[in-house]
Amino acid sequence: MDLLNTLVDKGLRRELPTREEALAVLATSDDDLLDVVAAAGKVRRQWFGRRVKLNYLVNLKSGLCPEDCSYCSQRLGSTAGILKYTWLKPDEASQAAAAGLAGGAKRVCLVASGRGPTDRDVDRVSDTIKAIKDQNEGVEVCACLGLLSDGQAERLREAGADAYNHNLNTSEGTYADITTTHTYADRVDTVQKAHAAGLSACSGLIAGMGESDEDLVDVVYALRELDPDSVPVNFLIPFEGTPLAKEWNLTPQRCLRILAMVRFVCPDVEVRIAGGREVHLRSMQPLALHLANSIFLGDYLTSEGQAGKADLEMIADAGFEVEGADQVTLPEHRAAAAGGGCGSHESAGCESPESAGCGGHQSAGCGSHEGGGVCGTAAAAPVSTEPRTDLVAVRRRGAGTDLAPNA
């Protein structure tokens, strides 16, 4: 397919595809899906080999958020039966982080619900960062605390934070449809503050909220222009008790096409599969490792994830390896300088919360169906369009509970 050959060539050169090419990836048929995955996989392997970076979320403060983000189980007015608790103490957060690090994670993502941190909150998180780093040599720490005020990013950096996550979530044109208590421009401003403070910026999106292909391309192109080191791709978890509870718009094939498009647009950036992979990719999760080079290990903020042991087995069975703490995530040309980007600058340099993936979603970090089979000439069995509500499980273990975490 000429389109895929062109996209591979551009990806290996870190050249931006045209919008028409990006849209064409999302419009490919299920018969061509494995070809799309194979093509994007060549770009992924060029810049990241067969390594998979593991990240681990710690929800420092759960629920009771004053913002009205429609996708989020922690939002104002949510009736989702999630855990609700105030700030974890530094030692509690450090203990929670230790479980993920023992499971192979190299980055810990510290997330707190809310519009943004007060200066006292920054002090709390700074103490937590120091506690984690004192007990775990070489660990990366990413903070995800909402909108930042002037000077707060610098304080987090001084405390030892390596990265800051704040997702754009959707296109500028549709942002007001999902959130009214802050703006798209507010989110852009926070990512820029993180960049300016020398933090590795992490910013991504949520797919499956009813957006169009054009919206998806818009937000990914906006991310490339913002130049984050990592781009978490969340797939909406439709929590009962939230306005988007009925938005079951994704198939495994659709998710793979979205990840492939992100890889082609951001060829040498850390692409992380974040919230919702278990719910929407399901048995096709291993194929997604050919597109993304990073995942979250274990549970998310308010929802349960795949068992940590199953994550590790999946990575090994698919022929990939867990990235070690001594390995640099990003390609040399990006890791050479602080705060590089999504591949749009030939001289870009950076490091890689995770998200970096956290970032304000119900599950990952705060979360047009083609149907049909994957490939082949024979008629495939139709894909069920029934919502898989059985796969949405509220987190009842780990941070904020007396039960052991999933890691």
Question: What is the C-alpha to C-alpha distance for residues 145 and 68, in angstroms, rounded to an integer?
Answer: 16
The verdict on whether 109 is a catalytic residue reads yes
Evaluated on CA atoms 8, 14, 15, 18, the torsion sign reads positive
Decide if 239 contacts 212 (C-beta within 8 A): no
Instruction: State yes or no: 144 annotated in a binding site.
Output: no
Q: Are 341 and 71 in contact (CB under 8 A)?
A: no
Which among 142, 255, 350, 358 is annotated as catalytic?
142
Catalytic site includes residue 142:
yes
> Does residue 109 have a known ligand-binding role?
yes
Residue 72 among the catalytic residues: yes
- Is 202 annotated as belonging to a binding site? yes
- 272 carries a ligand binding annotation: yes
Catalytic residue among 14, 65, 124, 358: 65
Q: What is the dihedral of CA 251, 253, 259, 261, to 10 degrees?
A: -120
405 contacts 99 by C-beta, under 8 angstroms: yes
Question: Which residue out of 202, 255, 342, 358 is catalytically annotated?
Answer: 202
* Close Cβ partners of 376 (under 8 Å, ≥ 6 residues apart): 31
Segment holding 215, helix H or strand E: helix 213-226
Do the annotations mark residue 358 as ligand-binding? no
Catalytic annotation, pick one of 69, 144, 266, 342? 69
Q: How far is CA 264 from CA 36, 72, 204, 231, 380, in A?
A: 10, 28, 15, 13, 28
Active site residue 202: yes
Q: Give the position of tokens 């030692």.
A: 91
Q: Which of 254, 272, 277, 395 is catalytic?
A: 272
Rounded Cα gap, residues 116 and 111, in angstroms: 11
Alpha-carbon distance 124 to 173, whole Å?
36
Let me know: does 39 contact 150? Beta carbons within 8 Å: no
Q: Tell me if residue 272 is catalytic.
A: yes
Given the residues 44, 109, 334, 395, the one annotated as active site: 109
Distance CA 166, CA 361 (A): 10
3-state secondary structure of 297: coil
Question: Which two tokens mark 388?
Answer: 């898989």
> Looking at the chain, how many residues does it have?
407
Active site residues: 65, 69, 72, 109, 142, 202, 272
- Summarize the annotated binding site for [4Fe-4S] cluster as residue ranges: 65, 69, 72
- Summarize the annotated binding site for [2Fe-2S] cluster as residue ranges: 109, 142, 202, 272
- Summarize the annotated binding site as residue ranges: 65, 69, 72, 109, 142, 202, 272
